[in-house]
Amino acid sequence: MLKCRLLPPLAMVLGLWALSLSANAAEPFRWDRLTIVTATAEHGFRVEVAETPCQRSQGLQHRWTMDSDAGMLFDFQTVEPVTMWMKNTYVPLDMLFIAADGRILNIARDTAPLDLTPIPSAGLVRGVLEIRAGTAVKLGIKAGDRVSHRIFQ
């Protein structure tokens, strides 16, 4: 037989408070627009911008869907080599690693949901753009193309 013990009222209140803090730990993302310029066209995206350490840590975790014209732009604020992963991310993604001048250095295509394998940049980057898997191929986006957004000079 299962025995239940009632928590004292203060412990129950503190427990609920701690639970609410963890549920609300994620910071809201600012929305912005960016354009990817390929050899043949320009493609606009609505992006959530992950610009704080907390936001970059959260990323697209626990999401099940993403619009075809949406994405998440990770702004690392500095230029450095970066490594991404798919922890708790259910939507397969294309990851575009972007240099400080807006040039796409490399693309990790069709990343596997929930995969913890490190996905590295091919050099120093200022940001990473995550879009739905298959979008880079569909739109003809390649390394060397440019991303136009205020964080890239």
For 1-29, the pLDDT digits (tens) are 333 344 444 443 334 334 333 344 578 99
Going by C-beta distance under 8 Å and a sequence separation of 6 or more, which residues neighbour residue 32?
46, 47, 49, 73, 149, 150
CATH number of 26-148: 2.60.120.1140
Where in the chain are the domains?
A: 26-148
Q: Which helix (H) or strand (E) holds 109?
A: strand 104-111
pLDDT by residue for the chain (153 residues), tens only, comes to: 333 344 444 443 334 334 333 344 578 999 999 999 999 999 999 999 999 999 999 999 999 999 999 999 999 999 999 999 999 999 999 999 999 999 999 999 999 999 999 999 999 999 999 999 999 999 999 999 999 999 998
The pTM for the full model equals: 0.84
